[in-house]
Amino acid sequence: MKLQRTVETNATPEVVFAYLSDFTHTNEWDPGTVNTVLVSGNGGVGTTYRNTSKFMGRETELTYEVVEHQPNSLFALRGENSSVVANDRMEITAIGLASKVTYTADFEFKGLGRFIAPLLAPALKKLGDEAEHGLREALAKL
């Protein structure tokens, strides 16, 4: 299941990248995030984060690893636990001095979750809409 949202902001790509590539900022803009903490690394490829999220009333923990890091343009992570693999990708494009962010979250459910995944589509869409709103507000403050 894939969610994709695009947000424009007056902040420069450098400022937007600096903010988004510190994944602990999900605490500020992602409504599903309960807490994200840096486990190891300096933000580049191989950096790991522990993310606790709440979805449909249930808390779950994922370990995310930065898999792509192209300064000022691309930041991607892979998160995993026993029931899901989440691939998050943030592409930042310059629009003059401003920026456009395309955020893609791709969820691959494991085990029995594969069979109920289609039933989760409305809840995931709602989560994506709320994340877009939170991201738009956070980036507007940069």
Does pLDDT of 8 surpass 90?
yes
- The string of DSSP letters for the chain reads -EEEEEEEESS-HHHHHHHHTSGGGHHHH-TTEEEEEEEESSSSTT-EEEEEEEETTEEEEEEEEEEEEETTTEEEEEEE-SSEEEEEEEEEEEETTEEEEEEEEEEEE-TTHHHHGGGGHHHHHHHHHHHHHHHHHHHHT-
Task: Summarize pLDDT for 39-93 with one digit per residue, the tens.
Answer: 999 999 999 999 999 877 889 999 999 999 999 999 999 999 998 999 999 999 9
Domains of the chain, first to last: 2-140 (3.30.530.20)
Model pLDDT, residue 104:
97
pLDDT at 108: 92
